[in-house]
Structure 1
Amino acid sequence: MIESRYLSYLLRHHPEAIGLHLDAGGWVDVTELVDALGRHGRVGNREDLEQLVATSDKQRFELRDNRIRAAQGHSLDVDLGLEPLAPPAVLYHGTHPGARLGITTQGLLPMGRRFVHLSADVTTARTVGARRGDPVVLQVDAAAAHQGGHPFYRAANGVWLTDHVPPALLSTLAQR
């Protein structure tokens, strides 16, 4: 069976690990992907990929016209073809306590990814932040960031993306 985490690794960061080549939009042919996975000991087929895409809780992947790609989260230089959008007035970012000092001084940066990832709701941000312990949830004044010239995009899975959020536009929500 094909695992979501491994597929994310391949389609977001290291397609070359199994000999894949993504196009400029991050897409790869499903047959090519399944064949490459098989050559590397990962058994699966198109139906497995369709099931993974349909049941992924975070909707990490897009499947279209016999091609698949990661919806967001790339460290690779891919063009997702997203149009800039005005974001909601407030968005949220979940992180861990160890990142707090850096965020306080530099704001939110993409780090090893192409964009900063933001959530439209506190629950999702808390879930994201909890991957590495007790979460810290930051409230983002997205309206002010947008007015200040930071472009915003919404990925196919609903995750909001931007290049940077200055520290002055962040506040920490009370933890429960």
Structure 2
Amino acid sequence: MDTKQLQETSKFLSYVLRHEPQAIGLQLDSEGWADIGALIAGAAKDRRALDIALIQAVVSSSDKKRFSISDDGLRIRAVQGHSTPNVSLQHIEKEPPEFLYHGTARRFLDSIRQQGLIAGSRHHVHLSQDIPTAIDVGQRYGKPVVLKIEALRMHQQGFKFFQAENGVWLTNHVPVLFVLEEEQKAI
């Protein structure tokens, strides 16, 4: 399998497992799991050739660990980033490190300064444990900026944090008060 095929399949899986399962007639349970057989059949109706080997290659080669296959090998899910309303992953609450980072594009800063970080169409705000990962995330949206978040102080004031299987930190909202403006790093 070539890199292009893996990337295209990963994007397709992200689309149907995070946002639009109904686009191929796929059903997700409340934890985001989909039957792999139904995924392959739905993809075929959409004229996409998927098989178990390609799905496993995408899951195992993803450096961001976006997907998980069930222990029995029959189901797959995206580990976070869902916007579909019927999925509500039950992540375990964890105490975050002192600081976490959020990569974004410079054009979103005015909105962030007014509202803080909001989940938007996703279920959670996504935070990174390190600056290089946050830079990678920010670059997806334009000229990247990394915001430093006072995660532990938020947690101490009652905000809940969770960590997805792939290491991404999740919270419902980051008020402006916890975004360290002076710590922004323009890249």
Q: How does 1:40-51 map to 2 (within 5 A)?
A: 40-51=46-57
Query: Where do 1:12-161 residues align within 5 Å?
Result: 12-64=18-70, 65=72, 66-77=74-85, 78-161=87-170
CA contact (8 A) 2:147 2:185 kept: no
Q: Deviations over 1:64-84 (max 9, x none)?
A: 121000010001232222111
> What TM-score, normalized by structure 2, do the two folds share?
0.91
TM-score by length of 1: 0.96
Letter in structure 2 aligned against 1:76: T
Cα distance between partner residues in 1 of 2:156 and 2:15: 34
State the alpha-carbon separation in 2 of the partners of residues 40 and 59 from structure 1: 25
- Pairwise CA distance, 1:4: 0.7
- What SS does the aligned partner of 2:82 have? coil
Provide the residue aligned with 1:5 in structure 2.
11
5+ residue gaps, structure 1, are: none
Whether 1:174 aligns to 2:180 is no
Mapped to 1, the partners of 2:26 and 2:157 lie a distance apart of 39
Q: For 1:107-140, what per-residue CA distance to the aligned partner results, in whole angstroms no more than 9, with x for missing partners?
A: 1100110000000000000000011221010000
Share of identical aligned residues, percent?
44
Instruction: Report the secondary structure of 2:129's partner residue.
Output: coil
In 1, Cα distance between the equivalents of 2:157 and 2:147?
A: 19
Counterpart CA distance in 2 for 1:85 and 1:55 is 27
List runs of 5+ in structure 2 lacking aligned partners. none
State the 1:99 CA deviation.
0.7
- Structure 2: distance between partners of 1:113 and 1:174: 25
Return structure 1 stretches of 4+ with deviation > 4 angstroms: none
